[in-house]
Amino acid sequence: MKTAKLVIGIVSMVLSVFVLFQSCAAGIVNSLEGSGQVSGSAGVMVAVCLIIAGIVGVATRNSTRKGGTLTAAGFYLVAALFGGILAGNYTDLYFWSFVAWAFAAVFIVDGFYDDAVWEESRWWQQAWLITLALIVFPPAGIVLLWISKRFNVAPKIISTVIFALGFLIILGNLGGVFSTTPPVTADSTAVPAANATTTTSNTAQPAAEPAPEKKVYGLGETWTVDGQFALTFTAASLTNERNQFSDKNPAQVVILSYDYENLGVEKNFMELYISSNNFKVIDGAGVMAATYPASTSGNPQETPIGARCVGAQQAYGLVNASGEITVQVEVYGNNYKSYPASFKLPIS
């Protein structure tokens, strides 16, 4: 795999420069929006790990010892971990994390694969196939690792732990993104079940009761999901401030102020954190608003169980001047369960 390690090392060094520039841009956006996200910093860490891994991989590609190969693999795994967990609104970082994950698999297999051990050559025991399986579908790759005689027991155990944890992290991220289970909120009312008793043809069927209307919250009203969290919008205030560095020209800039409390959402990579990523703001004409880089006096914070975040703010630019805005909120609780709610807020 000397040629593969040389190519991967060169690609990593070139890629690290591109990721670094992207990360700086993401960091600037996070700072201007006051979102509190660390995706820019995470991207810088990924870039640093990529360039170190690339240099080590190229420098030790011809070495008969495995220390350099496994060191490069370690830096690739760190890059994949940082990017996969902290990408946030920097969505390209998910892709770069997968690339780092793939490069790590190549180096790990090369580091642990023992060419000196003789065994009958079978296509499903080749190093390239085991590497591909670990990248695309780690459970299959782990099976191939254990039935191959070219890996010692200790490397098999280490590789199993690494790729099993990586696979679980990937499943966790996908579960959060694609979860579509309809939520049951604290303010929901049960819809009466249909009568299961069979009636005769000349007996009038009772009319089905209409589903209760979904509650729309107002300013100062608290939306509570029992055992999960509570959220209150305390103000929707106009500001005359305009950012000279922004290319946006909104008709109005509104600063949303809100408080939230963690009633029982357990830590999953981070504590409860409700920010602009959880809001969709719609102006009075039904047009979506976007975040605006105006000055705010408070940022959302990671909030553990039993604690409150008070005075968080986020600025939005409205396309149309409005007296009232709609804020659609979606917050994830335990087990990535999604909870939606709607607020109507008068602008003051």
Q: Which residue has the higher pLDDT, 264 or 112?
A: 264
Tens-place pLDDT, residues 277-309: 899 999 999 999 999 999 999 999 999 999 999
What average pLDDT does the segment 4-26 reach? 84
What average pLDDT does the segment 132-156 reach? 66
* Domain positions in the chain: 2-178, 216-346
What average pLDDT does the segment 116-131 reach? 58
DSSP assignment string, 66-119: SHHHHHHHHHHHHHHHHHHHH-TT-THHHHHHHHHHHHHHHHHHHHH--TTS--
316 bridge partner residues: 254, 291
Burial of 220 (0-12, 13-18, 19+ CB in 10 A): exposed
CA 332 – CA 170 distance, rounded (Å): 17
Residue 345 in contact with residue 188, Cβ under 8 Å?
no
- Biggest CA–CA distance in the chain, Å, is 89
Angle in degrees, CA 304, 310, 314, rounded to 5 = 105
The pLDDT of residue 179 is above 50: no
The pLDDT of residue 120 is above 60: no
Tens-place pLDDT, residues 28-84: 776 666 656 777 788 888 888 888 888 888 888 777 677 777 787 788 888 878 777
Q: Which residue has the higher pLDDT, 68 or 139?
A: 68
The pLDDT of residue 244 is above 60: yes
DSSP state at residue 296: -
Tens-place pLDDT, residues 209-240: 555 568 999 999 999 999 999 999 999 999 99
Fold entry, domain 216-346: Immunoglobulin-like (2.60.40)
What average pLDDT does the segment 105-119 reach? 63
CA 310 – CA 304 distance, rounded (Å): 13
Residue 143 pLDDT grade (very low, low, confident, very high; cuts 50, 70, 90): low
Amino acid in position 215: K
Tens-place pLDDT, residues 325-334: 999 999 988 8
Q: What is the pLDDT of residue 203?
A: 47
DSSP state at residue 211: P
Q: What is the mean pLDDT of the chain?
A: 78
What is the token pair recorded at 244?
């000279």
Residue 308 in contact with residue 258, Cβ under 8 Å?
no
CA 220 – CA 239 distance, rounded (Å): 20
Residue 185 in contact with residue 337, Cβ under 8 Å?
no
Q: Is the dihedral of CA 324, 275, 301, 48 positive or negative?
A: negative
CA 71 – CA 68 distance, rounded (Å): 5
Tens-place pLDDT, residues 182-207: 444 444 444 444 444 444 444 455 55
N-term to C-term CA, the chain: 66
Q: What is the pLDDT of residue 251?
A: 95
Q: Which residue has the higher pLDDT, 314 or 179?
A: 314
In this prediction the pTM is 0.45
Residue 49 in contact with residue 82, Cβ under 8 Å?
yes
